[in-house]
């Protein structure tokens, strides 16, 4: 890993903006700044781990638990035909931010299957989506 600050750690610390959806003591959920679909969501541990191989089991379980809730919330808020749930490890696998994270990508029939978008989303668009998904998240409980 480089000496550059981790953008996800900056988001956790509140020093970088993000359209936050949910957080607890262990996990933060927010919208991807480069979405491939409406509602493209990231679930991260608050503690920095570069990838799956470095993360401890408790953090992995917390992310998985919250990712499941997030998928339910996205299904309720976005009404997709399906959901891509993906996690990348290392540059060769397509990882671009080296802080363990899970992508939740709502899919509709006819979508392409890209993992990373090329267009930065508008901040107001992300905030609106985050509010909608957060409201659905609040009603999912432990789904």
Would you say 37 and 114 are in contact if contact means Cβ atoms under 8 Å apart?
Answer: no
| Separation CA 17–CA 30 (nearest Å) | 10
Beta strands in the chain (DSSP E): 20-23, 27-31, 41-45, 82-86, 102-107
Rounded to whole angstroms, the Cα distance separating 10 from 108 reads 32
Q: Are the beta carbons of 98 and 50 closer than 8 angstroms?
A: yes
Indicate if 101 belongs to the active site.
yes
Tell me which of 40, 99, 101, 103 is the catalytic residue: 101
Burial label, 99 (beta-carbon count in 10 A; 0-12, 13-18, 19+): buried
The residues that are catalytic are 101
């Amino acid at each position: 890993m480089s000496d550059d600050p981790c953008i996800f750690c900056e988001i956790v610390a509140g020093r970088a903006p993000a359209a936050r959806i949910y957080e607890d003591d262990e996990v933060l959920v927010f919208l991807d700044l480069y979405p491939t679909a409406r509602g493209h969501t990231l679930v991260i541990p608050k503690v920095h781990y570069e990838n799956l191989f470095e993360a401890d089991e408790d953090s992995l379980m917390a992310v998985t638990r919250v990712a499941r809730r997030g998928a339910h919330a996205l299904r309720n808020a976005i009404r997709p035909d399906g959901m891509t749930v993906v996690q990348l490890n290392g540059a060769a696998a397509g990882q671009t931010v080296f802080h363990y994270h899970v992508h939740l990508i709502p899919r509709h029939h006819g979508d392409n299957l890209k993992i990373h978008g090329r267009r930065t989303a508008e901040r107001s668009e992300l905030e609106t989506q985050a509010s909608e998904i957060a409201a659905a998240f609040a009603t999912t409980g432990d789904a």
